[in-house]
Chain A
Amino acid sequence: MHPASSIIVFTTLSSAGFGLMAWLGLGIGPAAPVFGLVGCGLALILASIGLLASLWHLGNPQRAWRALSQWRSSWLSREGVLAVATLGVFGLYALLWVAGAGRHLPLGILAALLALATVYATSMIYASIKAVPRWSKSPTPVLFLSYSIASGALGFMAVALGFGTVSNAMMAASVVLVLAAGIVAFWWRTRVGQIGLDADGSTPETAIGLPLLGRARLFEAPHTSPNYLMKEMVFRIGRKHAKKLHRLAFAAAFVLPTVLILAALAIPLLSAILWLAFPVHLAGVATSRWLFFAEAENVVSLYYGHC
């Protein structure tokens, strides 16, 4: 599937923003209003940039508000509704905190649950597309949620770093969460490696409705030039570097942040390197999101000589 840059920015940054909201909503960390201002501000900025980016690729973004209407059937619509609700509830929680009225834990927990529900809805947009077996036949929601929780934890640590309140416990917890997300990412990758276009039994033969006649091979494509379907659904650019990119993404998203935190834990003098953990992690997540889309193929490919 075509890895539109807007969708990569969206899924990377909003996932980190909502993850950070989940951690801030739980009421951990300093209660000072200025901590709330920076932390909640960062979370809201990340989520908002992500959501705005998702509008870039629309053909008619001026009608985007309509996307809030079909929550009964559409995961994309549900995601929109949940995102707006999360921004509203978390915004109120942040406002009260920054205004000096303290942290309202019930409100914070509600915001945290809504934030994770939004990330779940994002993952279901892809997981509900049966025509893309890699997404629908694998535990895609687990992947998205674990990325979000890990990104949020590293974002939280970055904010705490600014206030000089990073504790050893926080660093240890971040290492555990980042490693857990890494294990989930590795597990998901091994799972999807075995999911081909034929996961539901679809082949070039069933695609043309003639499974009993013999082997079907595309003899002549409908047009001499690539079309919208081929650009969107039969995306194949960059596959030859997929393995290298996977290693780079894995190293940046999980291994490097872990090494940085462990080094800072071991040698307190090196604690400045902790600043690198969050941006390096985000770069890794963005790369793995690119692969998430670029490597997935739609069964439409069967009409274009792929199987």
Chain B
Amino acid sequence: MTSLPQSTAKKLGLVIDLDTCVGCHACVVSCKEWNTSGYGAPLSDQDAYGASPSGTWLNRVHSFEITPSPKHQKGSACGSAQPKTQLVHFPKSCLHCDDAPCVTVCPTGASYKRRQDGIVLVDESMCIGCGLCAWACPYGAREMDKAAGVMKKCTLCVDRIYNDNIPEVDRVPACVRACPANARHYGDLADPTSAVSQLVAERGGVDLMPEQGTKPVNKYLPPRPKADMDLPDDFRLAELVAPDATGFLGWLDRTLEKLG
């Protein structure tokens, strides 16, 4: 049924820390690795070793350069007119929205949002591969698998998190398990006492494109403000770690300094 549930008992989802994400793509690769052999059809690649490879991925990392607005701008780097920019690595997968537009547009009932935990899934045996759900998602979280002709999306590793056959420590989404920077957190966002909810409260977690009215479950933690080092324009990092010269070289160094 592609009507959305009034409410869900749990809101299982991810909290992604944009402060600590280093953009290593480990979550991307581990997601593909787990999900190509897990739930549903494999995640196929087309022309994988050819001139223009493409394929189905459920998680992708974009990197954005942020140029602070003038009120956030403190001094300029290297004495030039170049503003101090900030690089934000931005992993993106399905946000398991409360008001998921991808679910309601589905003509077959293949797309659904689970009442018990809020996970948005595709029943691939019912999917006709029309692609309308991918058009309706403002986040680009759904990708058509060219080989199977069905829509693929993040399942929140539903075949891991409830899997009694794997060690308890592995019962989290593959991306969370793989992240070496601990930038990905998994839990119940409907429970205000959960670790993820507290993290969101502490760090001011945000929604992506709230204006689209999708009410995403996944939250993103903004980067912490950068330390303002107020460095002089001619600052050179190397000088801080240069060794003190002794002996003949020390004499030469002091003499040359005196010469100006």
Residues on A lying within 8 angstroms of B by beta carbon are 1, 57-61, 63-64, 66-70, 72-77, 80, 125, 128-132, 200-202, 204, 206-210, 212-223, 225-229, 232-233, 298-300, 303
Interface check B181, CB cutoff 8 A = no
CB of B231, distance to nearest CB on chain A (Å):
20
B56, B107, B148, B209 — most chain A CB neighbours (10 Å): B107
What mask results when residues 51 to 65 of chain B are scored 1 for a CB within 8 Å of chain A, else 0?
011111100111111
B234 at the interface (CB under 8 A from A): no
Of A77, A209, A215, which one neighbours B208 at CB under 8 angstroms?
A209
Interface residues of B in 125-184 (CB under 8 A from A): 126-132, 134-140, 143-146, 148-151
**How close is A163's CB to chain B, nearest CB, in angstroms?**
39
The answer to whether the Cβ of B26 comes within 8 Å of any Cβ in the partner chain is: no
Give residues of chain B (74-133) contacting chain A, Cβ–Cβ below 8 Å: 86-88, 90, 92, 101, 103-110, 126-132
Which residue in chain A gives the minimum CB-CB distance to B130? A58
Q: B108 and A202: CB pair below 8 A?
A: no
- Which residues of chain B come closer than 8 Å to A64, judged between CB atoms? 128
Report the separation of the CA atoms of residues A59 and B149 in the bound assembly, to the nearest whole angstrom. Answer: 4
With A202-B138, A213-B68 known as contacts, the answer to whether A227 contacts B3 (CB < 8 A) is no
Give complex CA distance A61, B140 in Å.
24
One of B72, B136, B150 near A59 (C-beta < 8 A): B150
Given known A-B contacts A59-B128, A66-B128, A131 and B92 have beta carbons under 8 A apart: no
Q: B18-54, CB under 8 A of A: which get 1 and which 0?
A: 1000010000100000000000000000000000111
List the A side residues contacting B56 at CB < 8 Å: 228
Which residues in A have their C-beta under 8 angstroms from that of B135?
A: 1, 129, 131-132, 232-233, 298
A60 touching B212, Cβ below 8 Å? no
Q: Which of B60, B109, B210 contacts A206 (CB 8 A)?
A: B210
Nearest Cβ on chain B to A127's Cβ, whole angstroms: 12
How many interface residues does B have (CB within 8 Å)? 71
Is A216 a contact of B64 with CB atoms below 8 Å?
Answer: yes
* Residue in B4, B23, B143, B206 whose CB lies within 8 Å of A228: B143
State the CA gap A223–B150 with chains docked (Å): 22
Which residues of B have CB within 8 Å of A216?
64-66, 88
Known A-B contacts A131-B137, A303-B140; the reply to A214 vs B148 at CB < 8 A is no
Instruction: Give the Cβ gap from A5 to chain B, nearest Cβ, in Å.
Output: 14
**Contact call B105/A130, Cβ cutoff below 8 A:** no
Please determine whether B208 and A213 come into contact, CB atoms closer than 8 angstroms: no
> Which residue of chain B lies nearest to A64 when distances are taken between CB atoms in the complex?
B128
Inter-subunit contact A217/B54 (CB<8 Å):
no
Q: Which residues of A contact B90 (CB under 8 A)?
A: 208
Say yes or no: A70 contacts B107, CB within 8 Å: yes
* Closest 5 A/B residue pairs (Cβ): A59-B129, A59-B149, A222-B60, A77-B107, A66-B108
A125 to B209, CA, bound (A): 22
**Are A233 and B64 closer than 8 Å at their CB atoms?**
no
Contact between chains at B137 and A223 (CB < 8 Å): no
Which B residues are in CB contact (< 8 Å) with A1?
135
Contacts known (A200-B211, A227-B143); A63 close to B138, Cβ less than 8 A: no
| A58 and B149 contact, CB distance less than 8 A | yes
Contact residues in B for A59 (Cβ distance below 8 Å): 127-131, 144-145, 148-151
The answer to whether B104 touches A73, judged by C-beta atoms less than 8 angstroms apart, is yes
Verify B213–A130 contact, CB threshold 8 A.
yes
User: Are B211 and A73 neighbours in the complex by a CB distance under 8 Å?
Assistant: no
With a cutoff of 8 Å between Cβ atoms, the chain B residues found around residue A222 in the complex are 28, 57, 60-62, 92
Q: Is the CB of B126 within 8 A of A66?
A: yes
- Whether B134 lies near A206 (C-beta < 8 A) is no
B 215-226 binary contact with A (CB < 8 Å = 1; else 0):
000001011000
A80's contact among B69, B107, B146, by CB below 8 Å, is which?
A: B107
Residues of A within 8 A of B86 (CB): 213-214
The verdict on A229 contacting B134 (CB below 8 Å), with A75-B105, A300-B140 known, is yes
Query: Does the CB pair A202–B212 fall under 8 Å?
Result: yes
Task: Find out whether the CB atom of B130 lies under 8 angstroms from the CB atom of A67.
Answer: yes
Known A131-B137, A201-B211; judge A228-B144 contact (CB<8 A). yes
From A61, A75, A213, B128 is in contact (CB under 8 Å) with A61
List A contacts of B140 (CB < 8 A). Answer: 229, 233, 298, 300, 303
> Which of A68, A69, A76 meets B132, CB within 8 Å?
A76
Nearest-CB distance from A265 to chain B (Å)? 44
Q: Does B245 contact A (CB under 8 A)?
A: no
